[in-house]
């Protein structure tokens, strides 16, 4: 990661580091062994277990032995939005398919069981349009997300959230909500969703790892609003999706991120053993369209905001674009007029005649 950038809008590919996202059988068994107070069979085939909020997998982490659950942040992450780039045409995702089949009772949380450097950032957000990238290869994954990072470049800490297609973890090629964290640059620590300890979920309405539906098409756009922000009174990093406060990463998991983030990144990512090789992976990023195809075709982040110790929600002043393998994937920071707020488009097909 280019941690030396003051602020990054990023499309990146991690050949080794992101291989640590893959979860071993032991982690999955630990998750499956959590007793469910209620099980919901979704019409899309997902199984949602309603687990006692105090017995969720987060509390297996030794740093959380005496942790007291915080049911809501002590401060609000206010937001200022524009209608860019969709001019009101894109529609927010407000529910997941499984919730049509039932709700988790109070006191439980749903688990989806699948059989700017040098600054002090305390929050970030964006709206991300949701796609289902075609042809994600076995062993690969494709995501659109936000990163908040802290610490040194070789041992950085990171919290991440957005949408992902990951057949290796989820067993299918559907687009799913995800969250992730690491405290040592993916070397020994890190966890996706609730499949190992760390993240404390509090919502009864959304499930990490559950499918997002509907997804965007070239005729109609759908987006999720993702925000992550620090509660200064507890040191916890809260994750929200739309109006749903999902839960938090306890500050005790981290060292640098306990106080603030030193870089924020928006963009997409493809992991594959075959990036930067020939033949290149056919796994696309975003919608699979190039960034210059713009609205209606390419994946985007819009309503990009940060929060620093001024406690103001604002568009970041200094942004740097970066993309690996520009013949395979692309980025474009685009203004419709010189007065309008920039929009960030990204994506690409992977292997093509320019990227053999």
Tokens representing 286? 């975003």
Angle at 191 between CA 36 and CA 131, to 5 degrees: 90
Q: Which tens digits make up the pLDDT trace of 247-299?
A: 999 999 999 999 999 888 999 999 988 888 889 999 999 999 999 999 999 99
Share of the chain above pLDDT 90, in %: 51
3-state secondary structure of 191: strand
Q: How far is CA 184 from CA 116, 151, 276, in A?
A: 19, 9, 24
Element (H, E) at 27: helix 25-32
DSSP character at residue 302: E
Instruction: Please tell me the pTM assigned to this model.
Output: 0.79
Least confident of 14-18, 69-73, 339-343: 14-18
> How far apart, in whole angstroms, are the C-alpha atoms of residue 295 and residue 89?
11
Q: Which tens digits make up the pLDDT trace of 148-205?
A: 999 887 889 999 999 999 999 999 999 999 999 999 999 998 899 999 899 999 999 9
Q: How many CA atoms lie within 13 A of 336 on its CB side?
A: 11
> How far apart, in whole angstroms, are the C-alpha atoms of residue 347 and residue 333?
12
Q: Which tens digits make up the pLDDT trace of 31-69?
A: 445 667 888 888 877 878 888 888 887 888 888 888 999
How confident is the model at residue 244, as a pLDDT?
Answer: 94
Least confident of 2-6, 102-106, 185-189: 2-6
Higher pLDDT, 314 or 161: 161
Higher pLDDT, 21 or 120: 120
Q: List the chain domain ranges.
A: 8-347
3-state secondary structure of 63: helix
How confident is the model at residue 12, as a pLDDT?
Answer: 41
Count Cβ neighbours within 10 Å for each residue of 254-292 and write b for 16 or more, e otherwise. bebbbebbbbbbbbbbbbbebbeeeebbbbbbbbbbbbe
How confident is the model at residue 84, as a pLDDT?
Answer: 54
- Parallel, antiparallel, or unpaired: how do β-strands 121-129 and 222-230 relate? antiparallel
Mean pLDDT (the chain) is 84
Q: Are 196 and 23 in contact (CB under 8 A)?
A: yes
> How far apart, in whole angstroms, are the C-alpha atoms of residue 295 and residue 223?
12
């Amino acid at each position: 990661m280019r941690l030396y950038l003051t602020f990054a809008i990023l499309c990146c590919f991690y050949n080794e580091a992101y291989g640590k996202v893959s979860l071993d059988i032991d982690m999955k068994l630990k998750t499956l062994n959590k007793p469910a107070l209620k099980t919901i069979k979704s019409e899309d085939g997902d199984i949602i277990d309603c687990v006692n909020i105090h017995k969720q997998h987060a509390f297996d982490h030794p740093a959380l032995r005496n942790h007291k659950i915080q049911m809501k942040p002590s401060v609000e992450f206010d937001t200022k939005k524009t209608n860019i780039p969709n001019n009101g045409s894109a529609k927010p995702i407000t529910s997941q398919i499984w919730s049509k089949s039932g709700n988790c009772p109070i006191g439980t949380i749903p688990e989806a069981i699948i059989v700017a450097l040098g600054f002090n950032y305390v929050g970030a957000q964006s709206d991300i349009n949701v796609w289902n990238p075609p042809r994600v290869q076995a062993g690969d994954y494709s995501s659109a997300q936000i990163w908040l990072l802290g610490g040194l470049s070789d041992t950085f800490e990171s919290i991440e959230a957005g949408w992902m297609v990951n057949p290796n973890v989820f067993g299918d090629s559907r687009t799913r909500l995800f969250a992730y964290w690491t405290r040592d640059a993916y070397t020994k620590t890190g966890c996706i969703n609730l499949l190992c300890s760390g993240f404390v979920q509090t919502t009864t309405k959304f499930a990490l790892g559950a499918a997002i539906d509907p997804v965007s098409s070239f005729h109609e756009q759908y987006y999720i609003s993702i925000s992550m922000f620090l509660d200064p009174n507890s040191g916890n990093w809260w994750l929200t999706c739309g109006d749903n406060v999902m839960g938090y990463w306890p500050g005790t998991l981290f060292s640098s991120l306990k106080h603030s983030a030193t870089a924020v990144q928006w963009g997409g990512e493809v992991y594959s053993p075959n990036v930067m090789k020939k033949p290149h992976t056919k796994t696309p990023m975003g919608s699979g369209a190039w960034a210059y195809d713009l609205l209606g075709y390419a994946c985007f982040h819009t309503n990009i905001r940060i929060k620093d110790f001024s406690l103001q929600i604002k568009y970041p002043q200094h942004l740097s674009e970066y993309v690996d393998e520009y013949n395979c994937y692309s980025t474009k920071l685009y203004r419709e007029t010189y007065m309008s707020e920039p929009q960030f488009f990204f994506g690409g097909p992977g292997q093509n005649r320019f990227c053999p």
